[in-house]
Chain A
Amino acid sequence: MSREARITLLVLVALVAGAAVAFGAPHVLSDYFVRIILLIALNAILVLALSLSNGFTGVFSLGHVGFIGAGAYISGILSIPVQQKMALLPHLPTFLHAFSLPFLPATLVAGLLTALLAVVVGYPLMRLSGYFVSVATMGFLIIVNVVLINASDFTRGARTFTGVPLETTLPWVTGWLAITVFVLARLVYSPFGRAMKAVRDDTIAASAVGIGVLRTRLIAFVIGAFFSGVGGSLYAHYLGSFSPNTFYFALTMSLITMLVLGGMGSLTGAVVGVICVSLLSEVLRSVERGFTIGDFAVPALFGASQIVLGFIFILVMIFRPKGIMGDRELTFGLTQRSATVNQTEERKR
């Protein structure tokens, strides 16, 4: 069996398991746990989308949350029911008043328009490297925020954007997660994926052997933006109402923490990072609300979870800069042959 076929098989197994969770969980688990699983799956889509450029191509973008926000607002505008649109967004162009799209097409349109935006933004920015590209993409994030706040005909400005139907259920999210993992796994472990890693590890050598650096970076950036837009749409339909600051530095920080903690060069690592950080924040959030041990009452400490996550981030940076998984994938033995190949490659380095 070829390597690609093994990966496909692995993903299919994951897909079946995901489907079982998606349809089985609501019957077995309480709403609280279903919500946690849903959020983990949703964040996994967002972090995987981020890993494509930040982890595999070496272009550390701080602007992906801009794409998530764009996706959320685009999908929201498209899918608010026609009757409510007039009241909520009276100044929309008339053609947008006339219709409202169901969840799936709205999500697809959001993903595609976001990808288009990424082409426009990425074409100039992918020329930059290192920290320059991080700063430039951060500039992009701020610009998106300013535009969302000021384009109030479309976004209700700084006020809460509301009325988005709550359609994001666990099967939808796991379905999109499966598609994301499938596409990314095929991409990352293909010749193009090797080109991406070559660009990341040594730009000059990569271009010397004929890899188009700009083209490779741009493709990774745009595909990542597509899934960010899709994730944004899922987020919008999960929250129902949100504001421009939902998609700003706090979300950026939490996604980056997940990515860096899990390991930037590994798809399963990204997912491991999401699970660790999500579970940890959930535990910390209950601590934040205050609790009592015996007679000793611990007061509510709002923001404590962010502080702990910040410290964890710094500790990871100091002691394990490659994250929990580094470049390795969790394969559960299914791709044994390729795993050993990976190890020999690693030893050679």
Chain B
Amino acid sequence: MTQLDYILQQIVNAVSLGSLYALVAVGLSIVFGVLKLTNFAHGDVMMVGAFGVALLAGAGVPFPVAVICGIAAAAVAGLLIERIAYRPIRDAPDVARLLTSLAVTYIIENVGILVFTSSPRNFPLPDILNTSWEVSNGAITFTSINLLTIALTFVSLLLLGWFITRTTTGLGMRAAAEDMSAAHLVGLNVNRLIIVAFIVASAYAGLAGILWAAQAGVVQPQMGFTPLLKAFVAAIIGGFGSIAGALVGGYILGALEIFIVAFLPSSVSSYRDAIVFAVLIAFLLVRPGGLLQPNREIKL
């Protein structure tokens, strides 16, 4: 195995991981864009999607049907969370809403543990998606699910791009993100837009959760928390609230994590998550608007 193959392998890994982060971060950014809410429960919506698939496929439902049901379950979960927990405090200060979303996370994870216990369950992935592929005599390997992750991220984000630039509802969502009260004044149904934002974001979370579980091979009630925190870092690196920013941030974070582990000595790379969150803090301090919103000022 040559040096070049090693680097190419790491690039494949980085793109695959980055796609997952981008998918999660896009959902976070949609909600943050419209509501200015840091939605910690987004990770639990991922968990709902993945568990939905694991339970249905485990019960013999064909895998593609299970995936569609899982994504639908995630969308419903997001909708319920918005209705029950977030709508009553929509006008509360940012921090109060952030804490509420933390409490929602706490509730969902504990309910998950109560119902499913905290031990990991097998995620039944069809064999087609588990095949591994080899390039240049086995020096670079990846599985079908890696490819599928990258492809689905690409397709779903194109779809999202079309939705927010070409449809009335999508344009309305962007208007609401820009200025909620102005959007209300020009006659947009802001409530409906927020609901749509949650459905779209949660469906993305469901898809991301399913892909995450497929790569990990297991589902577990707390599985959403780590990807959520990472996606959060990705979204802030790119520019929180911006969908393009979430995409850029996701791939940068994926590359950063993979390269820390691949090219740094293990005494340093075991601190990978500390480095990642130090990057988060650095961005908040120096460039709180992220890479794509350099002019956003944060008042003291």
Chain A residues proximal to chain B, CB less than 8 Å: 60, 124-125, 127-132, 134-136, 139-140, 142-143, 146-147, 150, 203-204, 207, 213-214, 249, 253, 256-257, 260, 301-304, 306-307, 309-311, 313-314, 317-318, 321
- Taken residue by residue from 246 to 281, chain B's Cβ proximity to chain A (1 for < 8 Å, 0 otherwise) reads as 000000000000000000000000110110011011
Segment among B11-19, B87-95, B119-127 that sits at the interface with chain A = B87-95
A135→B280 contact, CB < 8 A? yes
- Is B299 touching A203 in the complex (CB atoms < 8 A)? yes
A/B interface sample: 13 pairs, CB < 8 A: A60-B99, A135-B98, A135-B280, A214-B300, A256-B102, A257-B103, A301-B114, A302-B113, A303-B111, A310-B103, A313-B100, A313-B106, A317-B99
Tell me the bound Cα distance from A129 to B297 in angstroms: 12
Q: Is the beta-carbon distance between A135 and B38 smaller than 8 angstroms?
A: yes
A132 touches B298 (CB 8 A): yes
Question: Which of A256, A304, A317 neighbours the largest number of chain B CB atoms within 10 Å of its CB?
Answer: A317
Number of interface residues of B (CB under 8 A): 39
Top 4 A-B pairs, shortest CB-CB distance: A310-B107, A146-B274, A139-B277, A303-B110
- State in angstroms the CA–CA spacing of A293 and B89 once bound together: 38
A213 contacts B278, CB within 8 Å?
no
Separation of A213 and B104 alpha carbons in the complex (Å): 33
List chain B positions with a Cβ less than 8 A from chain A: 38, 85, 88-89, 92-96, 98-100, 102-104, 106-107, 110-111, 113-114, 225, 229, 232, 236, 270-271, 273-274, 277-278, 280-281, 284-285, 288, 298-300
- Contact A314 B300, CB 8 Å, known A130-B95, A303-B113, A306-B110: no
B117 to chain A, nearest CB (A): 9
Contact A131 B273 (CB under 8 A): no
Contact A142 B271 (CB under 8 A): no
Residue on B nearest A311 in the bound complex, by CB: B107
- List chain A residues, Cβ under 8 A from B274: 142-143, 146-147, 150
In-complex Cβ contact of B111 among A129, A132, A260, A307 (8 A) = A307
B107 touches A132 (CB 8 A): no
Min CB distance A193 to B, Å, is 20
Whether B100 contacts A317 by the Cβ 8 Å rule is: yes
Chain B neighbourhood of A125, CB < 8 A: 281, 285
Does A128 contact B298, Cβ atoms closer than 8 Å?
yes
In Å, the complex CA distance between A135 and B279 comes to: 12
* Residue in B88, B96, B300 with the greatest tally of chain A CB atoms within 10 Å: B300
- B100-A147 in contact (CB<8A): no
A273 to chain B, nearest CB (A): 14
Check A307–B114 contact: CB distance below 8 A: yes
Known contacts A314-B85, A317-B92; is-contact A128 B103 (Cβ 8 Å): no
User: Are B271's CB and A146's CB within 8 A?
Assistant: yes
A314 neighbours in B (Cβ, 8 Å): 85, 100, 103-104, 107
Whether B89 lies near A317 (C-beta < 8 A) is: yes
Complex formed: what's the CA distance from A318 to B95 in Å? 13
Q: How far is the CA of A200 from the CA of B107 in the complex (A)?
A: 30
Q: How far is the CB of B141 from chain A (nearest CB, A)?
A: 29
Residue of A with least CB distance to B280 = A139
B-side contacts of A213, CB under 8 Å: 300
